[in-house]
Amino acid sequence: MSQAMRHPLTDLRRGATLRIDDGQPHVIDVFEGLVWVTRDGDPRDVILEAGDSFRFDGPGLTLVQAFDDARVLLTDLVETSRSMSAFALHRRARAQRDAALAALIARGFAAAESAVHRLVERLTHRPLRPSNAPV
């Protein structure tokens, strides 16, 4: 079963493991931290750090384990992507990562704006006491 999410940015705490077992092609991009990728039946183990990407496909369980707290982007690739060049796949994964990051930043700004509005409402509906006023 794939753990790729609708919001593909995934935070992994140190020691946490992400399981991918759907046989579909994926690209994993690492934003922060250090992760280890191992695949059932593949003698290679891959270590990825911030800025690295790894493409994998085919049957078998894939495990992504965080050596440090990490933030990763797991992208499901459509079946037609098999005919794309490695450069095109990488460019597509980067574009999706950039879009996910932009959405995360926008949500952060929206949350900050909402907090400022609530604070202003609190301050304007309550009389402020001078700092030297008796309690």
| pLDDT tens digits for range 80-104 | 345 566 667 667 777 777 877 888 8
Please, are residues 12 and 64 in contact by the beta-carbon 8 Å criterion? yes
In a domain, 132, yes or no: no
What percent of the chain has pLDDT above 90? Answer: 23
What's the token pair of residue 102?
């932009």
Comparing C-alpha atoms, which of 100, 10, 7 is closest to residue 64? Answer: 10
Q: Please provide the average confidence, as pLDDT, over all residues in the chain.
A: 79
Q: Note whether residue 135 is domain-resident.
A: no
Q: What is the mean pLDDT of residues 38-55?
A: 89
> What integer pLDDT is reported at residue 2 of this predicted model?
43
pLDDT at 79 over 60: no
Asked if residue 73 belongs to a domain, the reply is yes
Tell whether 69 is covered by a domain: yes
Q: Within a domain: residue 131?
A: no
Domain presence at residue 2: no
The reply to whether 133 falls in a domain is no
Distance in Å from the first CA to the final CA of the chain? 60
pTM of the model: 0.55
Q: Which residues form the domain of 39?
A: 9-125
Q: Count of domains in the chain?
A: 1
Question: What is the C-alpha to C-alpha distance for residues 63 and 35, in angstroms, rounded to an integer?
Answer: 10
pLDDT for residue 46: 94
CATH of the domain at 44: 2.60.120.10
Share of the chain above pLDDT 70, in %: 77
Q: Which two tokens stand for residue 43?
A: 């003698």
- CA angle 75/76/79 to nearest 5° reads 140
Residue 77 is assigned to a structural domain of this protein: yes
